[in-house]
Amino acid sequence: MGHFTTRALSALVAIGASLGCAMPTDAPPVPDADSASCGSCHADHYDEWSGSPHANASRSPLLEAMLPEVESAWGSLARDACESCHEPRHAPGDDGIGCVSCHAATGNHAERDGELVVDLTRGIAGPTPSQPTSAHETRSSGFLTSPSLCGTCHELTGPNLVREPTLTEYRASPAAAAGVTCADCHLPAGEGPVASSHRFVGFDPPWGAAPEEARAAAARTRELLASALDLRVEPAPGGVMVTLANVGAGHAVPTGATFLRDIWVDLELATGARERVIVLGDQPMHADMPVALLTRADRVVAGTLAAGEERAVFVPAEGLVEAYLRGRAVRDEVLAALGREDLAVQVPTHEIQHTSAAAD
């Protein structure tokens, strides 16, 4: 049968069924490989995956609000490009990024733009030597835990102004040089029988989650951000020096959809005044004016902090200065521009770090 990418294999099966055709007799049967069927045996993994950004990639209300904007500004092909990554349909019945998107992946045509090769006839891959099972064929695969797999979807060169060079950032990072992979941070060790967490810890909130689940996800996000960033406030003549460093991430912070993100340092001065300094996140621009949405921009001003990089600013001050590192996955102005201010309650403001110093 060869190799099939994105929606091609499931489309072939559907066409064959509609024509009353059987699959070639010399080919292994295509398994019933939607994620729900995987969960009938792998319940712990399935439960974690079910609340993850991967499982809900196509059901994000933020994505639903953005797709008409994308199509209106950039055309239907741009919308298709977004949906092909968020809803690749590698298995019939899966809406988001399902189990086989990773566990049946055999490689990629390119390390970018969702150019993943998924072959359901090759067996289901695991990171360790395969164990026989009557449910499906198994195989071991180093590709499953490689940054190349993650980068296939997390390195974007379009449509239009969309640029997400996460894999490129990783390859240039100290983490890559040390052999730390994406899975080491984003799929940390699991509990009980689960070897690694399938929650896929990241920045985005679990849209629509129950309050307890949302709080647990926010705690994991704060822990991840705290491991990546370090905030220092040091006395300096006439004030303080505020420094923010990317000490732990294997990519820039923020990365991915950086035009949505907001990470910043708030200062509370002894006078009672408050200042926001060292803001991270890309800023879409139209001419010389900042705009909320990438679809309304003609360029982007980069504002991320590369792996191993630090940014410092002097702030005139007297007395004690309190500094708070905070972050939100989606800026309020983005939600307002999309007419979805109601989603703001699902986007927590993360208190990542607090420190203080007395000005000289």
189-245 pLDDT per residue, tens: 755 445 578 999 999 999 999 999 999 999 999 999 999 999 999 999 999 999 999
Q: Kindly tell me if the per-residue pLDDT of 5 is higher than 60.
A: no
Mean pLDDT of 163-170: 98
Query: What pLDDT, on the 0 to 100 scale, is given for residue 20?
Result: 29
32-64 pLDDT per residue, tens: 678 998 998 889 899 999 999 999 999 999 999
Provide φ and ψ at 44, rounded to 5°: -65, -45
Structure tokens at 226: 């705290």
Q: Kindly tell me if the per-residue pLDDT of 10 is higher than 80.
A: no
The one-letter amino acid at 301: V
User: Which residues neighbour 54 within 8 Å (Cβ) at sequence distance 6 or greater?
Assistant: 96, 97, 98, 101, 200
Q: What is the mean pLDDT of the chain?
A: 89
Structure tokens at 39: 């969960």
Query: What pLDDT, on the 0 to 100 scale, is given for residue 7?
Result: 38
Q: Kindly tell me if the per-residue pLDDT of 358 is higher than 70.
A: yes
pTM: 0.88
Band of residue 137 on the pLDDT scale cut at 50, 70, 90: confident
Query: What pLDDT, on the 0 to 100 scale, is given for residue 164?
Result: 97
How many other CB atoms sit within 10 Å of the CB of residue 297? 22
Q: Cα-atom radius of gyration of the chain, to the nearest Å?
A: 22
Band of residue 188 on the pLDDT scale cut at 50, 70, 90: confident
Instruction: Report the DSSP beta bridge partners of residue 240.
Output: 235, 315
Query: What pLDDT, on the 0 to 100 scale, is given for residue 170?
Result: 98
Q: What angle do CA 151, 84, 302 make, to 5 degrees?
A: 50
Alpha helices in the chain (DSSP H): 8-18, 35-39, 43-50, 61-74, 76-86, 99-103, 147-154, 166-171, 174-177, 182-186, 211-228, 332-337
Domain ranges of the chain: 4-201, 212-358
Query: What pLDDT, on the 0 to 100 scale, is given for residue 94?
Result: 87
For the packed helices 76-86 and 61-74, what is the interaxial angle rounded to 10 degrees? 150
> Helix and strand tally (H, E) in the chain?
12, 17
289-326 pLDDT per residue, tens: 999 999 999 999 999 999 999 999 999 999 999 999 99
Q: Kindly tell me if the per-residue pLDDT of 96 is higher than 70.
A: yes
Q: Kindly tell me if the per-residue pLDDT of 18 is higher than 50.
A: no
